[in-house]
Structure 1
Amino acid sequence: MSEAVGPGVTEAAKTKSDKVAIASQAQLTWWAFKKHRLAMIGLWVIGLFYLITIFAGFIAPEDPNQQNRRAVFHPPQMIHFIDAQEDGWSIRPYVYAMDRERDPDTLAITYVPSGEKIYLTLFGQGPEYDFWNLWPSDIHLLATQDPDDQFFLLGADRLGRDMFSRIMYGTRVSMSIGLVGVTIALILGITLGGLSGYYGGRVDAVIQRLIEFVLSLPTIPIWLALAASLPPTWPIYLQYFVITLIVSLVGWTELGRVVRGRFLAMKNEDFVVAARLDGSSESRIIFRHMLPSLTSHIIASLTLAIPLMILAETALSFLGLGLQPPAISWGVLLKEAQNIRSISQAPWLFIPGAFVVVAVLAFNFLGDGMRDAADPYGH
């Protein structure tokens, strides 16, 4: 048992209290954040998604645009690991090959296991891809031993394209569009909100009227109108950039108001007045003294804003007004599941929707944890 050092105070409690007293703001925030289990789960899930974003070409076993007319609406294939043979068994990943047949009564195409095995290998060779346009490679996380074979972990679409590979590439676009959009919103929100709160007066009045005007706009119709005005002949990357700007139009207003309120409350605080009397420039006062105290609140706001950006892009692309094929995003992939035939014959086309749900929940859990950890002294 720990030795008592005072009335009702143990050595362990005193040590913990001393650690809290000398800890930095970042340490206190991290300790409080780690106590939020759902936030930690969300952090790991988001980290996994961004690993997929970075290594999409390596993780995807096939070219996402490669068509196979013999694999239209091919069902998902489960990976087996125990390979039983007549002379024993071994641990070796494989999937069962499937034959394409047509029902003589309904003429519907069906797939039945053929009994043959397609063996898989880690870090095998497959279709060539460019790693972020830096260098070409044909090494994939999982590939077939025979280059002529093909497998479909999450099935195939109406053109016989591998859904797993397309989802991996779609993750790159959908997750990065949230970051780019939030970065634009961050710059606008901090700049305009900071100017509004620090200077006040006419500057504050003009910026607040601008925020109220943006908030008064009907968001979805404005997004639809702007997205529909994009020329279809524009390159994919230009479409991507403009869609990002569109979903960022109202994303900065909430952050701008938060920053304005905090600046109004802090500009007369002792540390700000002391810095001003010490001769610090206005830019140093804002960026060196005032903004750091808002870091946790800004991070919490951003983690809650990213899923809104992802949902906006997904909705626009699903309605055919956002990114268009051959671009690949979760919204573009979900557009494939808009007809009754897809629902009845290929329910796995809805799998990108599950990725959207998981990503949004993960960001919301992370945002809740950051919001709770923003005031570490309250825990």
Structure 2
Amino acid sequence: MSSAREKDAATDIADPDSGHYVNPEPFNPASVEMLTPEQERYYQASQWQIMWWKFRRHKIALWSGVILILFYLNVPFAEIIAPYTANERSNDHLFAPPQKVHFFHEGEFVGPFVYGMTSEIDIETVKWVFTEDRTQVYPIRFFCRGSEYDFWGLVPWNFHVICPAKGGTLYLLGTDRLGRDVYSGLIYGARLSLTVGIIGVTISIVLGMFFGGIAGYFGGLIDSVVQRMIEILRSLPELPLWMALSAALPVTWSPVWIYLGITVILGLLDWPGLARAVRSKLLALREEEYARAAVLMGAKPGRVIRKHLLPGFTSHIIASATLSIPAMILGETALSFLNLGLRRPAVSWGVMLNEAQDISVIVVYPWLMAPVVPIIIVVLAFNFLGDGLRDAADPYK
């Protein structure tokens, strides 16, 4: 009897007025508001799933991501996609204009083809003048054998997605002063121009997370030293510093080493901004209970930062890194344009724009400015993508 009474008393609550125990009202399941399937799905979702749902609503950022994926899919297969190799020359087609693709010849459907070109020198303007020869029809070939190349510099091959016909040419965006195909150069140039941002940002993230992590976690003297170092680097003019360091690279280096040198320079000079963001986040997160619990359990500072603090704002780091890539692409383009970065035989969009330094050349041969178009598209796409990721990672939006 007493045990039953004790069991009932365990469920009673004390009345603040009388001090006696009273039995509360029985639980009624119907009084609880039921969650809809959509609400249950939201509350059970992980942080990354919620970010993806928010990111999908940002249509411009979503399409920008698709465009960037298409650009980067071309990077490993540049040799296959381009109709010519990057430095293949044609002495008979110097500064040749873009060839138009036709489908009908004399009223009959032929399929995609180009007409042949005849050239002669204009004595008055001292330049080559090209005209279409409509008696020569050259069908465009697909998935064909063409110019030989070494795939990734390793495997000899000659397979192309698109090729000119036997005895014909296929200059979709014209040629430069040495008769090199501009369209093929754009495809090859994407390999260096797009990867320099990815590798440079990787270096920047590693340095930014390291210096920002130790400054935000330890504080005190270490924080002051890192902050002063960041202020010194950010006070220096960025472009002249890039130019000075790039000019210091030995001219005897191979294009690969020059590329690595430019990438390291861009990465070493871009980490202060990310380091400050990491520092400010760690200053707030290190006072959280889970961080203090990890310290009391004997976790070392490196493990606390790496395992407990940094994962809390990884999404913000990704968004910040995405916004840093366009600056590095523009930095490489500017250095190569000024002949202080990559040089032939290496091909990047900046190296190709080096051909268009003379305004008179641009007026006569405007197709040499073709690399400007993919640069604008990629930079805008990265900026829109970064905005979308930043909004998706913001817990207050």
What's the TM-score, normalizing by structure 1? 0.92
2:5 match: none
Correspondence list, 1:206-285, <5 A: 206-285=225-304
SS at match of 2:168: coil
Alignment of 1:1-379 (within 5 A): 14-80=36-102, 82-84=103-105, 89=109, 92-103=111-122, 105-115=124-134, 116-146=136-166, 148-375=167-394, 377-379=395-397
Q: Quick one: which amino acid aligns to residue 224 of structure 1?
A: M
Let me know the Cα RMSD of the aligned residues. Answer: 1.9
Contact 1:54–1:172 (8 Å) recurs in 2: yes
Q: Deviations over 1:288-321 (max 9, x none)?
A: 2211111110011111000000011111111111
- Residues 316 and 322, structure 1, Cα contact 8 Å, conserved in 2: yes
How many angstroms apart in 2 are the aligned matches of 1:78 and 1:51? 26
The residue identity in structure 2 corresponding to 1:378 is Y
CA distance in 2: counterparts of 1:173 and 1:89, whole angstroms: 40
Where structure 1 has 5 or more consecutive residues not aligned to the other structure, the ranges are 1-5
Q: Deviations over 1:172-194 (max 9, x none)?
A: 00111111111110100001100
Q: Match of 2:163, as an amino acid? A: A
Q: Which amino acid aligns with 2:63?
A: I
Secondary structure of residue in 2 paired with 1:99: strand
User: Structure 2: any 5+ residue segments left out of the alignment?
Assistant: 1-29
CA offsets, 1:72-91, max 9 Å, x none?
111111223x34577x535x
Structure 2: how far apart are the matches of 1:244 and 1:107?
A: 41
1:275 Cα deviation from its structure 2 partner: 2.2
CA distance in 2, matches of 1:284, 1:244: 30
CA distance in 2, matches of 1:213, 1:72: 48
In the superposition, the TM-score normalised over structure 2's length comes to 0.88
Question: How far, CA to CA, are the matches of 2:302 and 2:248 in structure 1?
Answer: 39
1:49-86 C-alpha deviation (Å, 9 max, x unpaired)? 11121111111110111111110111111223x34577
Specify the code of the residue in structure 2 equivalent to 1:334: L
Assess, with a 3 A threshold, how the Cα gap between structure 1 residues 210 and 107 changes in structure 2: closer, same or farther. Answer: closer
Partners of 1:111 and 1:78 lie apart in 2 by 13
Deviations 1:197-223 (A, max 9, x none): 011111111111111111111212211
Which of the pair has the greater relative contact order for Cα pairs under 8 Å at 6+ separation?
A: 1
SS in 1 for 2:225: helix
CA contact under 8 A between 1:73 and 1:345: conserved in structure 2?
no
Kept in 1, the 8 Å contact 2:116–2:168? The answer is: no
Report how far residue 225 of structure 1 moved.
1.3
TM-aligned CA deviation for residue 105 of structure 1 = 4.7
Partner of 1:3: none
Alignment-derived partner of residue 27 in structure 2? none
Alpha-carbon shift at residue 134 of structure 1 (Å): 3.9
Hey, which bits of structure 1, 4+ residues long, moved more than 6 A?
A: none
